[in-house]
Amino acid sequence: MQRMITGIGEFARGIAHQTVQGAATLIQSPSAGGAELLGMSSSTQGQVVISVLVIIILFVLRRALLAVVSRTVEDPASRYKWAKTSAYTASLIGLVVVIQIWFVALRSLSTFLGLLSAGLAIALRDVVADFAGWLFILFRRPFDLGDRIQIGTHAGDVIDRRIFQFSIMEIGNWVSADQSTGRVIHIPNQRVFLEPLANYSAGFPYLWNELEVLLTFESDWKQAKSLFKDITTEIMKDVVAEAEGPRKKADQRFLIHYRTLTPAVYTSVQESGVLLTVRYLCRPRERRGTGEDLWEEILQVVERTDSIEFAYPTQRRIVDSRSD
């Protein structure tokens, strides 16, 4: 990384030195009157001209590159990455070249960057923290575009990453079962250092979900437990097979191990009856759909099985007929 920055600095220094000299030579005689009218020396005028030319050239090159990408790349995600990468690259090159044009006296780019960073750290603390967060997101990759995450009280799908903030399409809030609300939330990058971040997709791209079914004490809970497990196993068999297969290389960064991924049904006792908790594996964006499928099957099983009944909070009053 240090070699790359040094190389860019030397390249930009050479361009800046040559272009400033060339511009000064071109501007000196013909435009002396114009320079006086503008209140600028010929050297300053040359720096302005070259800075504008650098910006225009980088802009044209980036637009030409994006035009080629739009004709050859069909995947929207790939196009987005090309647009972001080209914007960051053009901005970096332009910044380094312009700095070299206006600060030729500073022979060491690292010295200038050190002075600049010290001033920014004091005057623009939040901005610097957001930029540091962007670097952390870019290189450490706690999440990628399209990942479903929760940071602090906000949860959603990542739809954009920028230098000072990232954006998510919100899920949850007043909407049940992690479905989208339609709102876009912009979150400062520094929040990755301040708030716990949960990633629904990275590492192990599945969720454990649970359904609670309350039956009466008179019900045949053993039969119900067996039926519910068979239903869940049948509906979720494709997800379990997928999860038991080889994991992607990107998902092997974490030491995650489960002894079993098949559905399970757990038994407990509540005041109003026997509680059967159905635990199963599902994809993050299918939690509501799989829950609906399971509930429909459970309702049908209970309806056609006389020995199984749903329970609900009740009160029983015993009246002694012998009392007055």
- The Cα 131–Cα 137 span in angstroms is 10
DSSP-based three-state secondary structure for 159: strand
| DSSP structure class, residue 200 | S
DSSP-based three-state secondary structure for 215: strand
- The Cα 171–Cα 151 span in angstroms is 12
What is the phi/psi pair of residue 310, to 5°? Answer: -70, 145
189, 131 in Cβ contact below 8 A?
yes
> In tens digits, what is the pLDDT along the chain, a chain of 324 residues?
445 444 545 555 555 555 545 544 544 444 444 444 455 667 667 777 887 888 888 888 888 888 887 888 777 777 777 777 778 777 877 777 777 776 654 555 566 667 666 665 676 678 778 889 999 998 888 999 889 999 999 999 999 998 889 999 999 888 877 888 999 999 999 999 999 999 988 878 899 999 999 999 999 999 999 999 999 999 999 999 888 877 665 456 666 777 788 999 999 998 889 999 999 999 988 999 999 999 999 999 999 999 999 998 777 677 766 655
Structure tokens at 310: 């749903």
By C-alpha distance, which of 134, 164, 160, 163 is closest to 149?
Answer: 160
Could you give the domains of the chain? 2-123 (no CATH), 138-199 (2.30.30.60), 207-304 (3.30.70.100)
- The Cα 82–Cα 78 span in angstroms is 6
By C-alpha distance, which of 212, 165, 167 is closest to 191?
Answer: 165
Structure tokens at 164: 């000072």
pLDDT of 4: 45
pLDDT of 212: 94
By C-alpha distance, which of 266, 292, 138 is closest to 213?
Answer: 266
CA-angle at 204, arms to 203 and 208, nearest 5°: 145
Distance (Å) of CA 1 to CA 8, 87, 89, 117, 311: 11, 19, 14, 18, 65
- The Cα 94–Cα 55 span in angstroms is 6
Q: Determine how many CB atoms are found less than 10 A away from the CB of residue 106.
A: 15
Q: Give the chain's length.
A: 324
pLDDT of 17: 54
Location of structure tokens 């030397």: 10
Location of structure tokens 């930009």: 12
| DSSP structure class, residue 247 | P
- Global model pTM greater than 0.75: no
- The Cα 188–Cα 292 span in angstroms is 36
CA 153, distance to chain mean position in Å, is 15
